Amino acid sequence: MRSSTPNKATPCTRTHQIGALVLVTTTFFLTRLFDQTLSPPCSELYSSASHPTSLSSISFHPFSWPDLGYGSHLNLKIYVYDENEVDGLKDLMYGRDGNISPDACIKGQWGTQVKIHKLLLKSKFRTMNKEEADLFFVPAYAKCVRMMGGLNDKEINQTYVKVLSQMPYFRLSGGRNHIFVFPSGAGAHLFKSWATYMNRSIILTPEGDRTDKRDTSAFNTWKDIIIPGNVDDGMTRGGATLVQPLPLSRRKYLANFLGRAQGKIGRLQLIELAKKHPDKLESPELKLSGPDKLGRKEYFEHLRNAKFCLAPRGESSWTLRFYESFLFVGLSLSLSLYLSLSLSLSLSLFYSYVATQSILNNSDKQECVPVVLSDQVELPFQNVVDYTQISIKWPSTRIGPQLLEYLESIPDEEIENMIARGRLVRCLWAYAPESEPCSAINGVLWELQRKVRHFQQSAQTFWLHNRTVVNRDLVPFSHWKPPMPLP
């Protein structure tokens, strides 16, 4: 016989809330532990010709930066020019009217120009003493400034020349120990007179070879450094994901290409190929504005639904799609959202939610394998990463059914292995602080160390028997006064 007294719901007490927080914290750390424990051995990342690795002062988890021409530890001193120190530098950072914000420039494809500057300002390798500096970093957000109307091409060119003429140490070395970031497909061509004034300087760029409509490459393998393109910070943070990866068996497409055609042959070929094979290749017409614009979440929902992510060249040889292929599971659900759920949901629903997140984060955690369709592309940190282990590069002249047949022939097991290996190195694409065990800025610092020279010279510097450095008029370096003539 049923009791007439209604059942009372168990109240959510302070003890329950504390228990929920403990469960969230425990789940988080266990998730991280399982991810690290189940990762394949780091030795798979290196080619058979690689030398044994050695521990360095900055350790890259789960691998250590190898002793391949780098040395055993970082020992750098980098001077970062202040925006008020050099006449004209603020114009290259904020525009002629000074109304362009770094926060606006840190987003999008060219954000590395701001991120690298901010990270170096906080770096333990930064020095405030020019005399002891190994390298000099010149901050400039010229690409962003140009795109936002802060300076035109002629003004950018004139301002760079003005800035360089205010730098005695640039004159002293001929620019060999000065670092510039040019993060767009135009590379250093953004500064039209780069070949005259900056042809010996260290250029950080994602653009490795020739850009469209340029007869001369602004990239030199021996002095310049390829850096990862800038991806959204939300893609590189830990935590649960708003867009959960799908296991390979549940993915609808063999491959996809998500991007504008831009009149480029390779991209147009992919769009036509998708029309002929809609069951294998997805290439939707992207709406970049208006009510049908593809949002970030929707973009990654498309991206996760294919085993292979095609990365053809666009205006230049590099493309962000290569990096996004490794990182699209990184859309973070913050811990604060966890906590708010713990306080608003019933305990049973919350426990169920946490358990579900734990399962999703530790099983079937698959990204997609990038397929590079850009013959001239250069990729970062090739001293460390063997890209044959984590990606495919296919001739852009063979975009057609043959490409789909080849991709279809690859077993799921091999795809999963490539994805797992890629997961080990994708931290190198994230512009996180150097205190992180693995980040793009640490990779850049190791590469910069290889560029350090104990002796610098230029065609405009001379030295005497007592090691005094002088100019052509025999004026000692300590008495050089800006502006100085440039080559």
* Other CB atoms within 10 Å distance of the CB of residue 278: 11
Residues in a beta bridge with 137: 80, 179
DSSP string, 12-67: --HHHHHHHHHHHHHHHHHHHHHHHHTSPPGGGGS-TTPPPP---SS--TTS----
How confident is the model at residue 94, as a pLDDT? 97
pLDDT digits (tens, 9 = 90+) for 256-309: 998 878 788 899 999 999 999 999 999 876 666 666 666 666 777 777 889 999
Model confidence at 316, pLDDT cuts 50, 70, 90, reads: confident
What are the start-end ranges of the H helices in 148-287? 153-164, 168-173, 194-197, 265-276
How confident is the model at residue 121, as a pLDDT? 97
pLDDT digits (tens, 9 = 90+) for 192-251: 999 999 999 999 998 776 554 566 778 888 899 999 998 877 666 654 455 677 888 889
How confident is the model at residue 319, as a pLDDT? 82
Which of 12, 3, 2, 20 has its CA nearest to residue 354?
Answer: 20
Model confidence at 468, pLDDT cuts 50, 70, 90, reads: very high
Instruction: Give the mean pLDDT of the chain.
Output: 78
How confident is the model at residue 59, as a pLDDT? 39
Q: Cα(first)–Cα(last) distance of the chain, in Å?
A: 101
More confident residue, 291 or 358: 291
- Average pLDDT of the residues in 445-470: 91
Residues with Cβ within 8 Å of 213's Cβ and at least 6 positions away in sequence, in order, are none
Model confidence at 88, pLDDT cuts 50, 70, 90, reads: very high
What domains can be seen in the chain, in order of their start residue? 78-230+446-479 (no CATH), 233-333+365-430 (3.40.50.2000)
Least confident of 44-58, 104-118, 125-139, 268-282: 44-58
Q: Are 324 and 235 in contact (CB under 8 A)?
A: yes
* Other CB atoms within 10 Å distance of the CB of residue 19: 14
Query: pTM above the 0.85 mark?
Result: no
Which of 208, 180, 199, 186 has its CA nearest to residue 113?
Answer: 180
3-state SS assignment for residue 443 = helix
How confident is the model at residue 73, as a pLDDT? 82
Model confidence at 171, pLDDT cuts 50, 70, 90, reads: very high
Q: Is the pLDDT of residue 8 over 90?
A: no
As given in the structure block, the two tokens for residue 50 are 């690689």
Cα separation, 73 vs 219, in Å, equals 27
pLDDT digits (tens, 9 = 90+) for 410-435: 999 999 999 988 988 888 899 999 88
- Strands 281-282, 202-205: parallel, antiparallel or unpaired by DSSP? unpaired
Q: Is the pLDDT of residue 311 over 70?
A: yes
- Dihedral angle of Cα 357, 363, 364, 367, to the nearest 10 degrees: 80
